[in-house]
A = this chain, B = another copy of it.
Amino acid sequence: MHKGRLEAFSDGVIAIIITIMVLELRVPADMDGHHSDEIAALRPLLPVFLSYTLSYVYLGIYWNNHHHMLHATRHISGGVLWANLHLLFWLSLVPFTTAWMGDHAWAPQPTATYGVVLLMAAIAYWILVQTIRKAEGADSLLAQAVGRDGKGKISPLLYVVAIGAAFVHPAISYALYVTVALIWIVPDRRIERVLSDGRAAGATGHPGRP
Contacts and interface: CB of A to CB of B under 8 A. Distances in A.
Contacts of A18: 13, 88, 92
A21 B20 CA distance: 11
A13 B13 contact: no
Copies of this protein in the assembly total 4
A143 interface: no
Classify the interface of chain A: helix, strand, loop or mixed. helix
Contacts of A26: 96, 99
Interface of A: 1-2, 5, 7-9, 11-20, 22-23, 25-27, 35, 37-39, 42, 53, 56, 60, 63-64, 67, 71, 77-79, 81-82, 85, 88-89, 92-93, 95-96, 99-100, 103-104, 107, 109-110, 113, 185, 187, 202-205
A79 to B, nearest CB: 7
Contact of A19 (B92, B113, B187): B92
Contacts of A204: 77-79, 81-82
A1 B71 contact: yes
Given A11-B8, A35-B103, A37-B109, A93 B16 contact: no
A99 B42 CA distance: 13
Given A9-B15, A11-B9, A92 B22 contact: yes
